[in-house]
Chains A and B, each alone.
Chain A
Amino acid sequence: MISLVRTEFAKALRRGRTLAIGLALVGLPSLIVFAIHARGNGRGGDNGEGLFRLAHQSGLLVPAAVLEAMSAFLLIVIAGSIAGDIIAGDAASGNLRYLLMRPVRRGRLLVAKAFVAGTLIWGCTILVTVTALVGGVLFFGAHPITVPGLAIGSLFGGFHLTVTTLLERLAIATAYVAFGYSALLALGTFFSTVTDVPAGAIGATIGVYVVSEILDGITQLGVIRYGFPTHYLAAWEPMFTQNRFPHDMLAGVAVQLAYVAVFLSAALVWFNRKDIRS
Chain B
Amino acid sequence: MADAIVAVEGLSKHFGPVLAVDDFSFTVERSQVWGLLGPNGAGKTTTLRILMGLERPSRGNVRLFDAPVTPSCPQLVRVGAMVEQAAFVPHLSGLTNLRLWWEANGARFADADLDGALAVAALGDAIHRKVRTYSQGMKQRLGFARLLLGRPELLVLDEPTNGLDPGEIREIRELIGRLTLQGATVLLSSHHLTEVEQVCSDVLVMNHGRLVASGTVSELIGAGSSVYVEVDDRERAYTVLSALPTVAGVLLQGDGLLVDLRDGRRSDLANALVGAGLRLETISANQNLEDAFLGLLDGDRVVS
Partners in one complex: yes
Interface residues of A (CB under 8 A from B): 3-4, 6-7, 10-11, 14-16, 93-95, 97-106, 272-273, 275-277
- Contact present for A101 and B76 (CB under 8 Å): yes
A-B contact pairs, 9 of them (CB 8 A): A3-B106, A4-B106, A94-B85, A98-B101, A99-B101, A101-B52, A101-B54, A273-B56, A275-B54
Asked whether B81 is an interface residue with its Cβ less than 8 Å from the other chain, the reply is yes
Question: Once bound together, how far apart are the Cα atoms of A106 and B72, in whole Å?
Answer: 7
CB within 8 A of A103: which of B55, B73, B102? B73
Give chain B interface residues in 89-122, CB to chain A under 8 Å. 89-92, 96, 100-106
Question: Once bound together, how far apart are the Cα atoms of A224 and B85, in whole Å?
Answer: 48
Q: Which residues of B contact A7 (CB under 8 A)?
A: 100-101, 103-104
Closest-CB distance, B290 to chain A (whole angstroms): 29
Closest CB pairs A-B (n = 8): A94-B87, A103-B72, A103-B76, A275-B55, A276-B54, A7-B100, A3-B106, A105-B72
- Contact present for B56 and A6 (CB under 8 Å): no
Q: Which residues of B contact A277 (CB under 8 A)?
A: 49, 54-55
Asked whether B146 is an interface residue with its Cβ less than 8 Å from the other chain, the reply is yes
Question: Once bound together, how far apart are the Cα atoms of A103 and B51, in whole Å?
Answer: 13
CB within 8 A of A106: which of B71, B76, B91? B71
Q: Which residues of B contact A16 (CB under 8 A)?
A: 91
- Contact present for A102 and B76 (CB under 8 Å): yes
- Contact present for B49 and A276 (CB under 8 Å): yes
CB within 8 A of A104: which of B72, B86, B92, B146? B72
CB within 8 A of B105: which of A95, A103, A272? A103
- Contact present for A104 and B84 (CB under 8 Å): no
Interface residues of B (CB under 8 A from A): 49, 52-56, 71-74, 76-77, 79, 81, 83-92, 96, 100-106, 146
- Contact present for B105 and A102 (CB under 8 Å): yes
Question: Once bound together, how far apart are the Cα atoms of A4 and B56, in whole Å?
Answer: 24
Closest-CB distance, B119 to chain A (whole angstroms): 21
Question: Once bound together, how far apart are the Cα atoms of A273 and B88, in whole Å?
Answer: 24
Q: Which residues of A contact B146 (CB under 8 A)?
A: 98
Q: Which residues of A contact B53 (CB under 8 A)?
A: 100-101, 103
CB within 8 A of B91: which of A6, A15, A104? A15
Question: Once bound together, how far apart are the Cα atoms of A11 and B96, in whole Å?
Answer: 9
- Contact present for B87 and A93 (CB under 8 Å): yes
Most buried by B among A15, A97, A103: A103
Closest-CB distance, B264 to chain A (whole angstroms): 45
Q: Which residues of B contact A97 (CB under 8 A)?
A: 49, 52, 54, 83, 87
Q: Which residues of B contact A104 (CB under 8 A)?
A: 72, 104-105
Closest-CB distance, A260 to chain B (whole angstroms): 24
Q: Which residues of A contact B49 (CB under 8 A)?
A: 97, 275-277
Write the chain A residue with the least CB distance to B81.
Answer: A101
Closest-CB distance, A11 to chain B (whole angstroms): 5
Question: Once bound together, how far apart are the Cα atoms of A101 and B51, in whole Å?
Answer: 10
- Contact present for A272 and B71 (CB under 8 Å): yes
